[in-house]
A and B are shown apart, each in its own frame.
Chain A
Amino acid sequence: MEPILEAHDLNKRYPEFSLTNVSLETLPGTITGIFGPNGAGKTTLVKLLAGQIPADSGTVRLFGLDYQDNEKEIKDRIGYAPQEHPYYPDQPVAYTARYAARFYSRWDGGLFHRLLERFRINPEKKFRFLSAGQKTLFSLALALSHQPDLLLLDEPAAGLDDAHRRFLFDTLRGFVANGEKAAVVCSHVSEGLDEVAERVLFIDNGAPLLAAEKEELLARWKWLHFRDNALDASLLAQLKSISRHPFGSAGLCDDFPALREQLAGPMAAGDVKVENARLADVLIHLSQGG
């Protein structure tokens, strides 16, 4: 299956920051989550993918096209919701939507107004008077309303309450459900989005630290809680982030299937318990130096 989005060795240098050698491939029907701490380069990466800034080196191809020759066609087919809202602050949101609508070939005004209603946003309200969550929701509505084939969302859950977060995740799942569209979402908080993403890319300090299939990742990374001295030295050496407390120890292992046999005995004896790791556990560990 042809990837919807292909990026190879993207590099972008700024005076105080540079993004180095990031590659990414997104297949149709998938959601990719880009995670990392604040300032890691996620926004820069998404801007490169959305054709908002030019890369110093490397290539980006969407739908088999590149921005040099097919900028209009690509932008017509991607739904980009930036983190810093660039919309006219003193204009009602309906105005901004009408303005954008004239440039998109597949604009669905009905969908846009239904979404605004659902988000309880008054279309005649000026953009700068919206709350932070409403601004994010407006961004999302605008991105969805021209029926794109690829969503590129930067911090799409910023300022959203639980119900709208849930709506966002359901919308993302529904968006890629027919197997033809894809979504790339980035956030500095992995909770929530880690449930929706199939692929995970972790960036820190402008460099990619991890790129993996989420399910496979979480099958390998597990927390092991063990009674002190229940594990022999060789096993212990393979654990990371080991912490001890008076009533047991815990460590993160990065390849549980490989250790399963060795652990079978202690597990059966009740000396070792296995807990699922959250994606955040893996990311925190990696950002602290691996």
Chain B
Amino acid sequence: MLTIIRRNLFFYLTHLATFGLPLWNWAFNRGRRGLVVYLTLMAPVWLCSSVLWSERSESYSFLRMLPIRDSDVIKAKLRLGLAAVFIYWVLLSLSTLLVWGPSPAFFARYSLINLVGAATLPLVALCYVGIWRFGARAMTAPILVFMVVTIVSVMGFGVVRWRGVDFGYGLRATPWLLQVLLATAAILLWLLLARLAPKVKHNNDAHLRLP
């Protein structure tokens, strides 16, 4: 299983580098404090991109030849996705803590990070399941569209914010209980997708088609 994870790690790590370096740079050099919101909202884009590019270079027909259970392949990739989401969440939380200190402002932004994290976890699993259903080639367009739409929305969000309207505040002040519930829901959703994945992968051979 480790072997499979190792091969996919390359794309995750390069994405993490391009995400993490500016993040730490911002955290230590105390750049514009509001930047964390943008970075948080960009995390799903980076993660979906990691999934997409690592899957485009994968060869499932080759893996199927090898003495390895399909369920192990699925577990390896989904757990890698889970770990990645977790790492992004940790990095964002730590950087925000470093910048804002344990203040109410921190907690507001921390809620946002939690919410986005909760949303991203099933999203990453969905990317994988989608790829196992339709193949990486077919999923490229939808994922790219999602990425572009998110980036544009975040830019739009920035423009609106700059103009003085901050409608994200409500989001950022979500009560604790709700956050915990949403996180739990995210994990449950991830588990559900993990359970569906083997059937989807077994019954569809689009992902086996060669690059």
Contact = CB atoms under 8 A, between A and B. Distances in A.
Interface of A: 50-54, 71-76, 80, 82, 84, 86-90, 96, 99-100, 102-105
Given A52-B65, A86-B65, A90-B57, 13 more contacts: A50-B65, A52-B64, A71-B69, A73-B67, A75-B65, A76-B67, A86-B61, A86-B210, A88-B57, A89-B211, A99-B7, A104-B66, A104-B67
B59 A86 contact: yes
Contacts of A72: 67-69
27 contacts: A52-B61, A52-B65, A71-B69, A72-B68, A73-B67, A75-B65, A75-B66, A75-B67, A75-B68, A76-B67, A82-B65, A84-B61, A86-B61, A86-B62, A86-B64, A86-B210, A87-B59, A88-B57, A96-B62, A99-B3, A102-B3, A103-B66, A103-B67, A103-B68, A104-B66, A104-B67, A105-B67
Contacts of B202: 54
Interface of B: 3, 7, 57, 59, 61-62, 64-70, 202, 205, 210-211
A38 B158 CA distance: 60
Given A72-B67, A103-B68, A87 B62 contact: yes
Contacts of A90: 57
A100 B66 contact: yes
Contacts of A51: 64
Contacts of B67: 71-76, 103-105
Contacts of B59: 86-88
A50 B67 CA distance: 11
A75 B61 CA distance: 13
Contacts of B68: 72, 75, 103
Among B61, B64, B68: residue with most chain A CB under 10 A: B64
A87 B211 CA distance: 10
Nearest to B62: A86
A72 B202 CA distance: 16
A87 B64 CA distance: 11
Nearest to A98: B3
Among A74, A75, A80, A96: residue with most chain B CB under 10 A: A75
A54 B205 CA distance: 11
A202 to B, nearest CB: 26
Nearest to B211: A89
Among B59, B65, B205, B211: residue with most chain A CB under 10 A: B65
